[in-house]
Amino acid sequence: MGVLTWVSAFLDSAPRRARKKAEGGASSNVFSMFDQSQIQEFKEAFTIMDQNRDGFIDKEDLRDTFAALGRINVKNEELEAMVKEAPGPINFTVFLTMFGEKLKGTDPEETILHAFKVFDTEGKGFVKADFIKEKLMTQADRFSEEEVKQMFAAFPPDVCGNLDYRNLCYVITHGEEKD
């Protein structure tokens, strides 16, 4: 799992207005893609992750952050892969730029919904969690067991084992649950 994926799970996703700004075209100033409260949230996350307070997130910062969250045995290769996602040392501007680029790559809600609807032959708005788990772990960009656990921790199935994919798609694209 990359640093952006991990941080995205750590933070609430950016609201729709940031996504719209990101989709609006290339901006030379990454700070213009987000409003002040969003920048502050990213800054807080950055500060939490910058464990040694040197102004950069490196492998050791990531290791310490994972440890603080209870994940002790993170492989060096995994940490190196996360750090390599950045074009250079990860200061706050690079961190924010990586999120801006990530937002540009998010598929529209309708596209994600359509992908789930293929498996919802009865049109009920949910699919069996076990079925989705099997598909995620065996098709295309395969999820690991840990990634599936993280997804179900963030979006748990109901007592019958059903995953509400409409809400999941909304959160992925809007960054907040429907009321």
Closest CA to 58 of 10, 87, 91, 30: 91
Q: Tokens at residue 72, please? A: 């002790």
Number of H helices, E strands in the chain: 10, 2
- Spatial contact of 146 and 1, defined as CB atoms under 8 Å apart: yes
DSSP E strands, the chain? 126-128, 162-164
97-131 burial code (b ≥16 CB/10 A, e <16)? bbbbebbeebeebeebbeebbeebeeeeebbebee
> Residue 106's pLDDT is what?
66
Average pLDDT taken over every residue of the chain: 80
pLDDT-derived band of residue 167, with 50, 70 and 90 as boundaries? confident
* Cα dihedral across residues 25, 87, 154, 152: positive or negative: positive
Structure confidence at residue 101 (pLDDT): 74
Give the pTM.
0.50
From residue 55, give the alpha-carbon distance in Å to each of 9, 58, 149, 166.
Answer: 22, 10, 31, 39
Confidence at residue 127, expressed as pLDDT on a 0 to 100 scale: 94
